Amino acid sequence: MTRLRPDGLPEPASAFGAAVVDLIVDVFEAYPTWGTATGYHRVDGRWPDLSERGRQARLAMARSHAEALAAFEDADLSPDEQVDRRILTDELEKVVFAEEVLREEAWNPLSIVYLVGGGLFDLLSREFAPWHARGASLLARLEGLPALTTAALAGLTGLPDRPVGLLQLDTALAQLSGVTELVDLAQAEASRRAERGEAPELVAAMAKAGESARRALDELRSGLDEDIRGRAAGEGRLGPELFARKLRYTLGSERSPEEVREQAWADFRVVRAEMGRLARELWDTWLPGEPLPVVAADDVAGASALVQRVLDAIAEQHQRPEGLLAFCEREIARISEFVRERELITLPDEPLRVTWTPTFMRAAARAFLDSPGPLDRGQPSYFWITPPDEAEGPEAVASYLREENDASLRCLSIHEGIPGHYLQLAASNACPSLARTVFTDGMFAEGWAVYVTQVMYDAGYAAEDPGFALQHWKMYLRAAANAILDVETHTGGMTEEEAMSLMVEGAWQERDEARGKWLRARLSSTQLSTYFVGSLEMWDLEMEVRRRRAAAAGAPASAVPPQRIRGGVGESPGFDQRAHLEAVISHGTPPLKWCRQLVLRGLGEAGGSVPA
């Protein structure tokens, strides 16, 4: 059994292990809210230093640890340590890129909203310690909030090639009320706990700190709206060169934006054709008594209209807003039973709760999986669903519900829940490698969630639902559209009209969903490409394992059929789907290039020749 230090980190068993622990402690000291989210609670009462001195200290920290890692010889490291060193070296390069080149804190006002919201929410939402300890940390963060917001405003100067983003500023102002809600919740929680005899001394202190925190947030709001607005411009688009540099770090590969876009367009066209075929098959089921339109082979508009009619009929089967959470809870239970019966993969024991997305995060996406950090053992995961915005009016709410129809929510429950993010991150947290659990790779996580949705489809999940197949391919089409949107927004100057055409006419999305994604494409960068590219690389890995397993069993290459689109391969000699899925997620959440090496190395040990 691994011995733990008083701070919750494992006692290192080697010189390299000690270097890793030292690195992680320094990273969490530099980025305290990341430490809290990961389960390192020595930094729970602090905020990062947003001053120039703080930025320079973080750069020096990253470079110092990069030098320390470079001093190790491969010959002195185990194979796993060799992989971990490469992962950590890449992560430190990302830190330098973020602090020295990207510098979002200088031009993106939304970054302070996410920082403050996450720093307060993680202390309120997880019972990782008794209230008196969590409450004291929450109090310290509230007391530190005025200095943090003052530093954030002072740092919003823009950069020579990147002014403060006007879109980011307006979105930050719209989301700030969600942060104020968290301050109110902190005070209410202190009062509620005091009634039960828990830390009554925190009530008055929390009330005083809450007042100063609200004033600080009001000053942040007025500073953004009155002072910063005058020099805010544009939407924060990165441009071709900066986007390409960031994409390399996000994907962990040399795959260029042009390659991502070309492959996404190729899959986009193939999936549209498949959806056309399915829509014809399903026409009588969803539109009984209505004659199937005759569409010429070259009639793109007619083919699109046919698919849209079937999707419109499927979209009418949806929940009311208040029923969304309960539906997803039932769906998670159904998926779990299906996975157990088919013995597809081991299910986690950690609790999963389905709840509404916190207000301060609602601009980012329709749904999230918020997993406990690897150092927070036994804590629940949260499947967040963003409710429709009633303030947008009944038409927008109706559009939301059509997009998030029952078949769509089934896909979403796989993606966010089982065997998607919830299951994968629970497995990741059990991995002994700190490098692969603390420094989780976003493309691995998103690629896995898209990939296993296809695995579930191939296994026959929801086969009795006549809308699931078409909705499944629509979700994959969305992943391809996300990548196109991401690249074109930041490198090609995509207009709103072009973006809406791609999503609404090309990918059959509801306008409400498309508007939200258009906002997200401009507020984020490179993340929207991870779903599509990650799933491609997951499938590339599975197909390579299939070929090697077949060869080890003495079968010819033709015994492994090609993918029809993605997946759809069926059985092949020597390949065990459950064993493969569990092998992939047994290594934490590393960049996929390193996951591939680890999985294939394990395959070699199991009876195939694999180069190191």
**39 token code pair:** 């389960």
Is-contact 153 222, C-beta < 8 A?
Answer: no
Summarize the confidence of residues 47-74 as an average pLDDT: 98
- Say yes or no to pLDDT of 609 above 50: no
pLDDT of 1 reads: 58
pLDDT of 76 reads: 93
Above pLDDT 90, what percent of the chain?
90
Give the SS3 label for residue 384. strand
- Say yes or no to pLDDT of 604 above 80: no
pLDDT of 316 reads: 95
The whole-angstrom separation of Cα 514 and Cα 492 is 19
User: pLDDT higher for 355 or 2?
Assistant: 355
Summarize the confidence of residues 415-421 as an average pLDDT: 97
Q: What is the overall mean pLDDT for the chain?
A: 94
**Main-chain dihedrals φ then ψ at residue 575, nearest 5 degrees:** -95, 130
- Say yes or no to pLDDT of 583 above 80: yes
**64 token code pair:** 């110092």
**164-168, 451-455, 556-560: least confidently modelled range:** 556-560
**How many CB atoms are located within 10 Å of the residue 344 CB?**
21
- Say yes or no to pLDDT of 341 above 90: yes
Over residues 85-95, the pLDDT tens digits come to: 999 999 999 99
pLDDT of 365 reads: 67
- Say yes or no to pLDDT of 492 above 80: yes
Q: What angle do CA 397, 221, 205 make, to 5 degrees?
A: 105
pLDDT of 234 reads: 85
The whole-angstrom separation of Cα 324 and Cα 313 is 19
User: pLDDT higher for 420 or 378?
Assistant: 420
Q: Domain map of the chain by residue range?
A: 15-237, 238-612
Summarize the confidence of residues 352-372 as an average pLDDT: 83
pLDDT of 364 reads: 60
- Say yes or no to pLDDT of 209 above 90: yes
Q: Identify the CA nearest to 85 among candidates 611, 604, 597.
A: 597
- Say yes or no to pLDDT of 295 above 80: yes
- Say yes or no to pLDDT of 608 above 60: no
Over residues 21-30, the pLDDT tens digits come to: 999 999 999 9
Which DSSP string corresponds to 178-245?
A: HHHHHHHHHHHHHHHHHHTTS-TTHHHHHHHHHHHHHHHHHHHHHIIIIIIGGGB-S-----HHHHHH
Over residues 421-432, the pLDDT tens digits come to: 999 999 999 999
Within 13 Å, how many C-alpha atoms sit on residue 380's CB side? Answer: 11
- Residue 521's contacts (CB-CB under 8 Å, 6 or more residues apart) are 485, 486, 489, 499, 528
